[in-house]
Amino acid sequence: MSEENKNLGDDLKKGAEEAFDSAKDAAKNASEKAGDFAEDAKEAISDFAEDAKETANEFAKEAKETFNEVSGENKKILAGILAILFGSLGIHKFVLGYTKEGLIQLVISVITCGAAGIIGLIEGIIYLTKSDEEFYQTYQVGKKPWF
């Protein structure tokens, strides 16, 4: 029985060594898989961040273009109505950012007792009959101060 116990002990030792080797291999494989997963996750996060940045830039660009179009349209209507109603005072010039031209129109209006109001009336009609894009390009981008 002693021989049997020795063989049994050897078998247990051999089984334990095989189990230890299997566990070691499994741990190594798990470690490699975890490393691969971490690399894949880093790449996915990097790609996501890049896509998010591109999307944000596109959104910002579109928002800026929309704001420019809307602000151009609002200035068109405001400048047109002010030019028709108060053209002799040159208020519409100030709204469009033409301070020097607004002061010139105001001075001419004071000197001619309001006759410069005809210029304002004409400009108001011109402003309101232009398309939004044409108005924006002509008076806000191109900075055309008169007519």
For 22-35, write each residue's pLDDT tens digit: 888 888 888 888 88
* Number of structural domains in the chain: 1
Mean pLDDT of the 67-95 span: 81
Asked if residue 124 lies in contact with residue 83, where contact means CB atoms within 8 angstroms, the answer is: yes
Would 147 be classed as within a structural domain?
Answer: no
Would 130 be classed as within a structural domain?
Answer: yes
Both structure tokens of 146 = 């008169």
Would 26 be classed as within a structural domain?
Answer: yes
% of residues, the chain, pLDDT over 70: 80
pLDDT of residue 41: 78
pLDDT at 129 exceeding the cut of 90: yes
Mean pLDDT of the 82-96 span: 90
104 or 58, which is more confident: 104
Would 104 be classed as within a structural domain?
Answer: yes
The angle at the Cα of 133, spanning 128 to 138, to the nearest 5 degrees, equals 75
Mean pLDDT of the 47-54 span: 73
Would 146 be classed as within a structural domain?
Answer: no
CA 35, 38, 44, 48 dihedral sign is negative
Mean pLDDT of the 52-68 span: 65
User: Which of 94, 107, 93 is CA-nearest to residue 147?
Assistant: 93
132 or 69, which is more confident: 132
- 30, amino acid identity: A
58 or 136, which is more confident: 136
Would 32 be classed as within a structural domain?
Answer: yes
Mean pLDDT of the 68-74 span: 57
SS3 100: helix
Give the whole-angstrom CA distance, residue 28 versus residue 34.
10
Range of the domain at 48: 2-141
